[in-house]
């Protein structure tokens, strides 16, 4: 029963109505409450819901990031428009909770689609021609993509004899299912959830949505929403593994992960707007996480999404801070942040360095491990390194310009910049102590070895 | 079985007519009709099980009545012409629709699972999905894209019925709720697009590039 409560808990934010200060307090309190509550519910089950280690991991990550973003948003939004962000955010958090608690593949689909709808509201926010266009594109592409995913869910359901959609039961029944049918189903599921993860060539909505959403919303989209769809892919990868078809899904993951990496790295060059730059970087890292999954290393994929979530939340929050103090969207019109506003500039530059894969940050560790594993196929490892190098080079010049280039003195009043430093701290700790054992433990939960 | 075959063919023809018609009102009515036919198919497959009948009725209420009513209300409030503007002529749309349906029947075989209760529904379901995509990409008005999406979603629903007696009830209701929320949200966006830009023509929304 408590699990149902956990799904509904985020909606408690609506109690604050349009009272700005109360909205902030509830929006921070609710995810923190569920953060504290969730570990005690590990293993609990009710109806289609159950909380296992992997679900708990993503639930905690989402709650933590959501609380920090909600707190930061207090200083970002003008009073009168804040409620839109917090209301849409509450709907989004509720559907993310639902997705991570759902142990039923049908419910998982329902909540993933729910998170698309709620996050479309986040993108739209206040309106205007460009956000409207981005939201429309997101809604249409996202819905069509996810409808393909639903056909995949239906096929899986039919393949196990229409008996159950419970993830654990499907995993144990799927060994006897028709392998050709499963391959078709998996391809459709990859198209469906891959659209939401931002895999090439289904990514068209992603840069627009992430660039046009207000900054804190972009942080939620990149740091938490992409994980929801990736989590669904993880569950289906485990099903394919149980059916003995992992080589098939592995080759698809490797291909699309690599294509996404190369495409995103190409687009990182010559991006004039820094939020668009970060959007392409999200695509790059989701491609890398899918690649890690394709290598047969779910623990590494989990670690990569964690590291990316923290680094990208930091980068988008800092970017929204930059936008609100400079009112400039283009890289070329922002400069010298490290000297003129170090409290904001230093975490931003370091976030870009982390996203570029520099040590001691955790993405370096993740990429290093992936290259190590990919060495079995030198061509694959070579392409991977080529993509990484290109992506790094694409991030380097905006980093130099915005951090150390010419610029004017700035004042960062009203923003909670300490949140950026807190995220930076988490990032460094993750980089120095990656805690591989935890993730390998989660892999066992997922893969059932 | 003969009755079910007739129903499935009738569903396919509503899909075809939706692609060929040029009036939004006619397309919305065809959509409502398509849902009535789908509800009849699910009653036909129920085999006396009550929860199927209940699910059919609930879906009929949401998709056969509520959504069409909302769409009619929307186009009245928008005060735009009720004509569908597309990139393709009627004959070309029909030709493409025919080709896509042929394709769906050709590859549909591969999708039919051994124990499917309604194997002849599978290629029709695939056709509806493809025809929905065709309407979405070939039409300019935001609202006709929503209708294309709804037709596509019906194809998915028919797929669930044909392959496995439909999904479990609570999943089915969740899916219907999502569809309604998506249409509702799209309606709000269409109002804003009209207010912001003075038209509802998605072909003219081209400011985001690269």
Residues A338-349, mean pLDDT to the nearest whole number: 90
ipTM: 0.90
Q: Does residue A80 register a pLDDT over 70? A: no
Q: How far apart are CA A260 and CA A270, in angstroms?
A: 18
Using a pLDDT cut of 90, give the percent of chain A over it: 49
Does pTM top 0.80 for this prediction? yes
User: Which of A279, A272, A271 has the alpha carbon at shortest distance from A210?
Assistant: A279
**Among chain B residues, CA nearest to A273:** B210
Residues A131-160, mean pLDDT to the nearest whole number: 89
**Among chain A residues, CA nearest to B136:** A140
Contact A231, A286 (CB under 8 A): no
- Does a cis peptide bond (omega within 30 degrees of 0) precede residue B3? no
> A140 and B207: CB-CB below 8 Å?
no
Q: Does residue B210 register a pLDDT over 60? A: no
CA angle in degrees (0–180, nearest 5) for B6-B9-B15: 145
Residue A12: the pLDDT is 81
Residues A336-340, mean pLDDT to the nearest whole number: 87
DSSP state string for A135-182: HHHHHHHHHHHHHHHHHHHHHHHHHTTTS--BHHHHHHHGGGS-HHHH
**Range in A121-125, A169-173, B106-110 with the lowest mean pLDDT:** B106-110
Q: Does residue A44 register a pLDDT over 70? A: yes
B2-30 pLDDT, tens digit per residue, is 888 899 999 999 998 888 888 889 999 99
Query: A interface mutation test: which of B107, B111, B113 has the most A CBs within 10 A?
Result: B113
**Range in A66-70, B170-174, B205-209 with the lowest mean pLDDT:** B205-209
Q: How far apart are CA A442 and CA A55, in angstroms?
A: 10
Residue B32 confidence class, pLDDT cut points 50, 70, 90: very high
User: Which of A137, A234, A232 has the alpha carbon at shortest distance from A192?
Assistant: A232
| A177 interface with B at CB cutoff 8 Å | no
Q: How far apart are CA B68 and CA B65, in angstroms?
A: 6
> B152 and A120: CB-CB below 8 Å?
no
Q: How far apart are CA B22 and CA A45, in angstroms?
A: 51
A233-287 pLDDT, tens digit per residue, is 999 999 999 998 999 999 999 999 999 999 999 999 878 899 999 999 999 999 9
Cα-based distances in Å from A83 to A70, A403, B145? 11, 33, 30
Contact A221, A123 (CB under 8 A): yes
Query: A interface mutation test: which of B178, B183, B197 has the most A CBs within 10 A?
Result: B178
Q: How far apart are CA A207 and CA A212, in angstroms?
A: 8
Q: How far apart are CA A260 and CA A251, in angstroms?
A: 14
Q: Does residue B136 register a pLDDT over 70? A: yes
**What phi, psi does A166 have (nearest 5°)?**
-65, 130
Give the relative orientation of helices A378-404 and A246-268 as an angle to the nearest 10 degrees: 30
Which residues of chain A from 299 to 358 reach within 8 Å of chain B, CB to CB? none
First to last CA, chain B: 53
Q: To which residue do tokens 């915005």 refer?
A: A402
Which residues of chain B from 120 to 179 reach within 8 Å of chain A, CB to CB? 129, 133, 136, 142, 145, 149, 152-153, 156, 159-160, 163-165, 167-168, 170-171, 174-175, 177-178
Q: How far apart are CA A363 and CA A357, in angstroms?
A: 5
Q: How far apart are CA A261 and CA A200, in angstroms?
A: 8
Cα-based distances in Å from A115 to A92, A118, A203? 5, 5, 17
**H-type helices in chain B, by residue range?**
2-20, 24-46, 50-59, 67-78, 90-111, 121-138, 142-164, 169-197
**Range in A60-69, A222-231, A371-380 with the lowest mean pLDDT:** A371-380
Residue B209 confidence class, pLDDT cut points 50, 70, 90: low
Contact A59, A42 (CB under 8 A): no
Residue A93 confidence class, pLDDT cut points 50, 70, 90: very high
Contact A99, A108 (CB under 8 A): yes
């Amino acid at each position: 029963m408590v699990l149902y409560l956990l799904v509904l808990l985020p909606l408690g934010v609506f109690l604050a109505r349009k009272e700005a200060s109360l909205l902030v307090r509830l929006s921070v309190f609710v995810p923190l409450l569920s953060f504290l509550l969730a570990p005690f519910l590990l293993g609990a089950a009710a109806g289609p819901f159950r909380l296992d280690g992997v679900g708990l991991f993503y639930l905690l990550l989402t709650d933590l990031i959501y609380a920090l973003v909600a707190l930061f948003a207090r200083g970002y939004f003008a009073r009168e428009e804040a409620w839109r962000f917090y209301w849409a955010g509450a709907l989004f958090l509720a559907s993310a909770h639902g997705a991570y608690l759902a142990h039923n593949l049908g419910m998982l689909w329902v909540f993933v689609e729910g998170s698309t709808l709620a996050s479309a509201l986040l993108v739209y926010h206040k309106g205007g021609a460009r956000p409207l266009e981005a939201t429309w594109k997101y809604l249409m592409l996202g819905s069509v993509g996810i409808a393909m995913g639903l056909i995949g869910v239906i096929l899986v359901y039919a393949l196990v004899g229409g008996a159950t959609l419970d993830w654990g039961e499907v995993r144990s029944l799927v060994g006897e299912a028709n392998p050709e049918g499963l391959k078709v189903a998996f391809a459709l599921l990859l198209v469906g959830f891959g659209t939401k993860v931002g895999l090439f060539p289904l990514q068209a909505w992603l840069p627009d949505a992430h660039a046009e959403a207000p900054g804190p919303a972009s942080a939620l989209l990149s740091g938490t929403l992409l994980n929801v769809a990736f989590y669904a892919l993880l569950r289906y990868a485990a099903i394919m593994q149980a059916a003995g078809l992992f080589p098939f899904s592995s080759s698809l993951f490797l291909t699309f992960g690599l294509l996404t990496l190369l495409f995103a790295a190409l687009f990182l060059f010559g991006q004039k707007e820094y939020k668009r730059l970060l959007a392409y970087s999200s695509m790059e890292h989701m491609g890398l996480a899918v690649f890690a999954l394709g290598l047969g290393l779910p623990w590494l994929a989990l670690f990569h999404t964690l590291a990316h979530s923290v680094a990208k939340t930091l980068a988008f929050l800092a970017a929204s801070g930059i936008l609100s103090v400079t009112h400039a969207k283009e890289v070329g019109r922002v400069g010298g942040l490290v000297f003129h506003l170090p409290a904001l500039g230093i975490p931003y530059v370091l976030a870009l360095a982390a996203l570029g894969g520099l040590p001691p940050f955790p993405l370096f560790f993740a990429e290093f491990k992936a290259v190590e594993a990919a060495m079995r196929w030198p061509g694959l490892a070579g392409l991977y390194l080529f993509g990484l190098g290109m992506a790094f080079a694409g991030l380097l010049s905006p980093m130099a310009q915005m951090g150390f280039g010419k610029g004017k003195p700035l004042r960062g009043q009203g923003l909670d910049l300490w949140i950026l430093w807190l995220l930076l701290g988490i990032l460094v700790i993750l980089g120095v102590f990656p805690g591989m054992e935890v993730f390998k433990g989660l892999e066992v939960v997922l893969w059932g070895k | 079985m003969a009755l079910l075959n007739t129903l499935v063919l009738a569903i396919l023809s509503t899909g075809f007519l939706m692609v060929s018609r040029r009036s939004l009102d006619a397309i919305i009515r065809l959509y409502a009709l398509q849902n009535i036919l789908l509800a009849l198919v699910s009653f036909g497959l129920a085999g006396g099980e009550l929860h199927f009948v209940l699910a059919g009725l609930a879906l009929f209420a949401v998709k056969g009545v509520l959504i069409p009513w909302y769409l009619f209300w929307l186009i009245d409030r928008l005060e735009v012409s009720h004509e569908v503007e597309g990139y393709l002529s009627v004959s070309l749309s029909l030709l493409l629709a025919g080709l896509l349906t042929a394709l769906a029947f050709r590859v549909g075989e591969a999708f039919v699972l051994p124990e499917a209760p309604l194997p002849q529904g599978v290629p029709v379901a695939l056709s509806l999905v493809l025809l929905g995509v065709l309407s979405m990409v070939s039409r300019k008005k935001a609202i006709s894209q929503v209708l294309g999406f709804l037709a596509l979603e019906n194809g998915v629903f028919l797929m669930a019925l044909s392959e496995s007696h439909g999904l479990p009830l609570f999943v089915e209701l969740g899916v219907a709720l999502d569809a309604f929320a998506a249409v509702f949200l799209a309606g709000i966006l269409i109002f804003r697009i009209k207010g912001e830009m003075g038209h509802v023509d998605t072909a003219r929304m081209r400011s985001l590039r690269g």
